[in-house]
Amino acid sequence: MELFEKKSMSLISLLLLIMVSSCAIEAEVRANLPSTKNDNNENSSGDEKIGGVFVYKTTVQIFNNLDNKNQLTVHCKSADDDLGAHVVANNQDYEFKFRINFAGTTLYFCGLTWIGGTGSYDIFRASRDSFRCASKCVWRAHNDGIYGFKEGSNQTTADIIYKWS
């Protein structure tokens, strides 16, 4: 039993070391990026520095690319937040920002409705999206479904497609 406890403690120590190193690397990379400060000398990206380490915000952006000037109603929720219903005019977008929780279990699901369809979809799931689109997730609503694009893509080829119900 004592050997098991020692191995468990070693494993926990190793995991903590990896996490701390990862945060330090991210902070160093972020420090070498061009400044995104506004006139008030605040970081306009929404990132916060806590204990010397940046805590990044993720942005989800949902575009209404429906035909015939149709409106799209978007209602997003997580386990902790109900962002309310928003009516998005044609060729406009709705966006929200949040931080991925420490456990990596953040989930935002959105109910999307328009005259031609409806559905509830996982718009951000940390287990899927923390590397796919960690800082910005773009979704585009079209007549046949909602299309998700990998961060940094040219947004011509979706990597996730949810069809309307």
Q: Do 63 and 119 share a domain, yes or no? A: yes
- Backbone region of residue 124 per phi and psi (left: phi > 0; alpha: psi in -120 to 50; beta: other values): beta
Q: Do 23 and 92 share a domain, yes or no? A: no
Q: Which residues, in sequence order, are CB contacts of 24 under 8 Å at separation 6+? A: 53
Q: What is the CATH number of the domain that holds 143?
A: 2.60.40.10
Per residue in 11-42, pLDDT (tens digit) is 555 444 444 444 433 434 343 333 333 333 33
Q: Do 26 and 101 share a domain, yes or no? A: no
Q: Do 64 and 83 share a domain, yes or no? A: yes
How many angstroms separate the CA atoms of 133 and 125, rounded? 10
Residue 26 has a pLDDT of 42
Q: How many domains, the chain?
A: 2
Per residue in 61-106, pLDDT (tens digit) is 999 999 999 999 999 999 999 999 999 999 999 999 999 998 999 9
Q: Do 96 and 75 share a domain, yes or no? A: yes
Q: Do 88 and 42 share a domain, yes or no? A: no
Q: Do 13 and 61 share a domain, yes or no? A: no
Q: What length is written for the chain?
A: 165
Average pLDDT across the chain, whole number = 78
Q: Do 152 and 116 share a domain, yes or no? A: yes
Q: Do 94 and 140 share a domain, yes or no? A: yes
Q: Do 41 and 65 share a domain, yes or no? A: no
Q: Which domain holds residue 127?
A: 57-163
Q: Do 17 and 42 share a domain, yes or no? A: yes
